Amino acid sequence: MSKIDIFFEETKPIKLKKTVLKKHIISLISSELKKTGNISIVFCSDDYLLEMNNKYLEHDYFTDIITFDYVENDIVSGDLFISIDRVKDNAEKFKTTFLNELVRVVFHGVLHLTGYKDKTTPDQKLMREKENFYLSGVVLSEMEL
């Protein structure tokens, strides 16, 4: 039995319909011909994610997401740690809404779990295309509380 859990660490809970977000995550995974396993999404502060970045990846910089991949065979499982502070800043920087950027970052992490990378320019381009494709199927107002 698969499960998608959402947690908040060192940040206020976000007002969104979690069931709608989960439905889109499951749809994305299915469209990539994979099965949904257990996924935890932890929304947190910059400081919380920076500490994780230092501790587990030995990176000393802020980031919007860290993805821990526990995928086995075609069962997509993992932990996504997402900085709400970075998402807010990036939404302003890229002139989009907070919710749009939040969903993009969630999809980005899930796409990593389905096998997409973003270290090279071609991989980054493909990742962005996939993010945009899956975002195009989301009616953000359906996710708002």
Helix, coil or strand: residue 103? helix
Q: What is the pLDDT of residues 43-63, one digit of tens each?
A: 999 999 999 999 999 899 999
Q: What is the pLDDT of residues 95-136, one digit of tens each?
A: 999 999 999 999 999 999 999 999 999 999 999 999 999 999
Superfamily of domain 3-142: Metalloproteases ("zincins"), catalytic domain (3.40.390.30)
Q: Per-residue pLDDT for 1 more than 80? A: no
Domain-wise residue ranges, the chain:
3-142
Q: Per-residue pLDDT for 2 more than 90? A: no
Residue keyed to tokens 């920087």: 93
Q: What is the pTM of this model?
A: 0.96
- For 36-57, the DSSP string reads EEEEEEEEE-HHHHHHHHHHHH
What whole-number distance in Å separates Cα of residue 47 and Cα of residue 136? 31
Average pLDDT over residues 51-77: 94
Percent of the chain at pLDDT exceeding 70: 99
pLDDT of residue 120: 97
